[in-house]
Amino acid sequence: MASNDSPKGFPFMKLPPELRNRVYFFALVKPHPIKPILGDRISTIVNHESNCSLGRHSGPQLKIPLINGSQHRIVSGTTMDCKHPFEGTREIRLPSSVLALLLVSRTILKEAVHFFYQYNHFTFSRVDDLNLFLDGIGRRRHHLKELSFKFTSTDATATFNKLQKCEQLTHLHIQLVWNAEHVRLDNKKGRNLQSAIGMAALRKLRGLQVVELVGTDVVYDMHGHRTELDILDSDAVGPHLMFELTMPRVPKGHKNLIKQPKSTVAPRVKGKK
C-alpha cells in the first residue's frame, strides 16, 4: 500500500561541519578560471567572440538575430571553451543555479559564501568589468584570492584602489600591452606604461605571493625612436611592478607608527608680555 507521507528532506545541517565544508567546496569551487557574467549572457558572449583575437571557441552553437536583421553565430549554454590566456583559458560561465545553494538559508550562506570567492580564480577581459564585479560583491571582495585581468585605463585608478582592500588577495595575473587604444597615458609624466593612468594605484598593492605579467612596454631613446620590449625586460615596467606588488602588506593600525622625519624648522616661542 502506497504511503501518503511526503518525502522528508535530508538533514544536511545535522552533518558535522567538516562534511558540510566538503560539500560546499565541491559545489562551489571550479577547476578552471571563472569569467563572471556581468550583464546579459547573450550580449556578453557576443562581445567576447567579437573581441577575442583567437576566434576559436567550442560548444553548442546558436544563431541570434541582430537589430539590423543579420545573424550572428554565438555560443549558447553555460560554458564556453577559449584558449586565449586572458580572454579565455577555458572560461566557465556559471549559470545562476550554481549559486542557488547559497539561497537555501542564511546559515548556509554564512558558512559557504567564502568558498566561492576565496577558492575560485576570477578572470576579466577589462578593468571596467573587474570594477563592476568588485562593486557588485561589496564586502565579500575581502575573500578574493586570485584574479586575472587585462590592464586598461578606464576606471583603472578607482578599481585598483578597491583591490587594496582585498586583504586576502595573493595571486594576480595581468596582461599589460602598450597600446593607445587600451591604455591612456599621462603625457606629463612619460610615454611608456610607467605613466599609464591607474599605474600609480596598482603599484600600491602589497602582500601578493604570485604575480604573473605578460605583454609589452616601450622605451624611447634620445632621438625619439621607439623600441618595443617584453614586459619583463629590465627597462620595462614589469620587474619594478612585480617587486612592489610582492612587498609585505602593512598591517592595519601600523601606518601611524611610521616615524616621520623631524622638522628642521625651529618651533616658535611666544614671548612673555
Whole-model pTM above 0.75?
Answer: no
Beta strand extents in 125-190 (DSSP E only): 146-150, 171-177
Q: Identify the CA nearest to 167 among candidates 214, 118, 219.
A: 118
β-strands 81-82, 57-58 pairing: antiparallel
Contact 142, 168 (CB under 8 A): yes
Binning pLDDT at 50, 70 and 90, where does residue 121 land?
very high
Separation CA 100–CA 120 (nearest Å): 17
Q: Which residue has the higher pLDDT, 61 or 2?
A: 2
| Mean pLDDT on 5-18 | 84
Half-sphere exposure of 107 (CA within 13 A, CB side): 6
- Give pLDDT tens digits for 171-191: 999 998 777 655 666 555 567
